[in-house]
């Protein structure tokens, strides 16, 4: 009778001495590798793994990085998917983050050897990208930008009732503003506001007039809003700043999104400050962007709360590279040629069909996501698979996230760079192999 293989469970020190695991420990940390070793040892004790395969099993069980976040193939058709980290960074931005991850000159003038302006190059890139801005400031997200404005400008904030919005996960603009100690002066009704509504409430205690783009919803019918240009003209001479939160971070008008507000136009129309996110349509890292009048930007910069909202060196590096470097992935997704998407879907479906799968190329509708252009679907193409593919694809390596429609799993290609088509096909084929 052969000995029970469970009696041959490899010792921990013996496995950790394997050169491949020594290298993995240097990259991932000894504790993480040791935990994987213990999991494999248990599989050997349970009789589910041959002891001779233990070291290979440990290697297979190790993550690619010491962090828990996993790269995901976004086949949802949502270009800026909040649950998937919003905008994927460009290769140039990734390289900039790596370069900035060590010691850098983020706040040092190398010529004089003295302290220099923090993130000066990234701020200059922002102003260059939005010529209507005199100055710029970067904080850690758009909510932080709004909180800083409300605190630094002080007094009463005038805002239309129809712009007191909730933008996702229970986050409500009025609650954020009130948390800063600001007093809100609501004007107009839920569906209609006029210029005179704003002008009537201005006084010595008014800190700013605030316009908030509703982003993720549209009110139709008997409605009226006051455009930035009209509001700016109506506030002329009052000394009250006009602050516009445009949300999505679109730098300039985009032909695919004709109704989406952009930073350049909003400032050119007369806004004194404009706020936006860096990780949406701009296609960069999570950041809150503030652009506009130099005196107001400086007022925000000198406020004590700015220190709490300041971004780190890697964010500044990624933002600058996004602005200075080649077109980021989100911009490429927006500009994607629909016929090209259809050809990709047809090629992938044909490859999967040859392998015996029920795969069909279909037309689909993608979305901007992240609260941008909620009623502006983007024509796209997808690979349609049986519904039961959805769950195992999410559990695979790499995970593939699609969506269910009419009892089918759709893998939309507008949110997936063409360079990932091979990985997508391999992931689907691996799921099919495990089933058969």
Does one domain contain both 183 and 284? Answer: yes
Residues recorded for the chain: 436
What does the block give as tokens for 155?
């007094």
Per the structure, the complete domain to which residue 29 belongs is given by 5-61
Rounded Cα distance between 217 and 191, Å, is 13
- The structural domain count of the chain equals 3
Which letter, b or e, does each residue of 87-109 get, where b requires 16 or more Cβ atoms within 10 Å of its Cβ?
bbbbebbeebbeebeeeeebeee
Residues 141, 253, single domain; the answer is yes
Considering the domain architecture, whether residues 134 and 32 belong to the same structural domain is answered as no
| Residue 373 pLDDT exceeds 80 | no
Cβ-Cβ contacts under 8 Å for 141 (sequence gap 6 or more): 277, 286, 287, 288
Last residue of a domain, one of 310, 326, 342: 326
What pLDDT, in 10s, does the model give residues 43-90? 999 889 999 899 999 998 898 888 888 899 999 999 999 999 999 999
Domain boundary among 326, 346, 379: 326
Residues 385 and 294 in one domain: no
pLDDT at residue 3, rounded to an integer: 59
**124-169: pLDDT as tens digits:** 999 999 999 999 999 999 999 999 999 999 889 999 998 888 876 7
Please tell me whether residues 116 and 28 are part of one structural domain: no
Q: Please state, in angstroms and rounded to a whole number, the distance separating the CA atoms of residues 239 and 47.
A: 78
Per the rule left: phi > 0, alpha: psi between -120 and 50, beta: everything else, 57 is alpha
Does pTM top 0.85 for this prediction? yes
CATH classification of the domain holding 197: 3.40.640.10
Residue 67 located in a structural domain: no
Distance from the Cα of residue 167 to its chain's centroid: 15
Q: What is the mean pLDDT of the chain?
A: 92
CA-to-CA distance for 210 and 243, rounded, in angstroms? 5
Q: Domain check: are 185 and 209 in the same one?
A: yes
Please state, for a pLDDT cut of 70, what percent of the chain lies above it: 96
Tokens of 234: 């109506």
Using a 10 angstrom Cβ sphere, with 0-12 exposed, 13-18 middle and 19 or more buried, the burial of residue 37 is buried
Q: What is the pLDDT of residues 2-17, one digit of tens each?
A: 555 556 899 999 999 9
């Amino acid at each position: 009778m052969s000995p029970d293989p469970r009696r041959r469970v490899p010792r921990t020190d013996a496995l950790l001495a394997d050169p491949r695991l020594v290298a993995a420990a240097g990259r991932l940390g000894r504790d993480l590798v040791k935990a994987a070793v213990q999991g494999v040892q248990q599989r050997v004790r349970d009789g589910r793994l041959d002891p001779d395969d233990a070291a290979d099993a440990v290697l297979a069980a190790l993550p690619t990085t010491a962090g828990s976040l996993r790269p995901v193939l976004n086949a949802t058709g949502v270009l800026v998917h909040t649950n998937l980290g919003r905008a994927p960074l460009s290769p140039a931005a990734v390289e900039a983050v790596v370069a900035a991850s060590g010691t850098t000159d983020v706040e040092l003038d190398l010529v004089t050897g003295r302290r220099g302006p923090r993130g000066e190059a990234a701020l200059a890139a922002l102003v260059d990208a939005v010529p209507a801005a005199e100055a710029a400031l970067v904080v850690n997200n758009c909510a932080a930008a709004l909180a800083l404005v409300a605190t630094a400008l002080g007094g009463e904030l005038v805002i239309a009732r129809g712009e007191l919005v909730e933008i996702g996960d229970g986050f409500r603009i009025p609650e954020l503003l009130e948390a800063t100690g600001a007093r809100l002066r609501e004007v107009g009704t839920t569906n209609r506001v006029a210029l005179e509504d704003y002008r009537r409430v201005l006084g010595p205690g008014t800190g700013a007039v605030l316009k908030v783009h509703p982003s993720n919803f549209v009110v139709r019918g008997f409605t009226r809003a006051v455009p930035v240009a009209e509001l700016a003209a109506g506030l002329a001479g009052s000394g009250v700043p006009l602050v516009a939160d445009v949300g999505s971070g679109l730098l300039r008008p985009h032909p695919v999104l004709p109704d989406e507000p952009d930073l350049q136009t909003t400032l050119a129309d007369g806004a004194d400050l404009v706020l936006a996110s860096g990780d949406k349509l701009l296609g960069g890292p999570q950041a809150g962007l503030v652009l506009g009048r130099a005196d107001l930007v400086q007022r925000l910069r000198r406020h004590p709360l700015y220190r709490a909202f300041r971004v780190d060196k890697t964010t500044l590096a990624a933002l600058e590279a996004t602005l200075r470097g080649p077109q980021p992935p989100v911009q490429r997704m927006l500009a994607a040629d629909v016929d090209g998407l259809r050809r990709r879907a047809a090629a992938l479906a044909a490859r999967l069909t040859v392998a015996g799968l029920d795969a069909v190329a279909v037309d689909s509708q993608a979305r901007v996501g992240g609260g941008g252009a909620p009623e502006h679907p983007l024509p796209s193409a997808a690979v349609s698979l049986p519904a039961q593919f959805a769950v195992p694809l999410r559990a695979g390596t790499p995970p593939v996230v699609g969506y269910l429609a009419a009892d089918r799993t759709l893998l939309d290609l507008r949110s997936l760079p063409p360079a990932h088509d091979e990985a997508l096909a391999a992931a689907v084929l691996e799921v099919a192999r495990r089933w058969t």
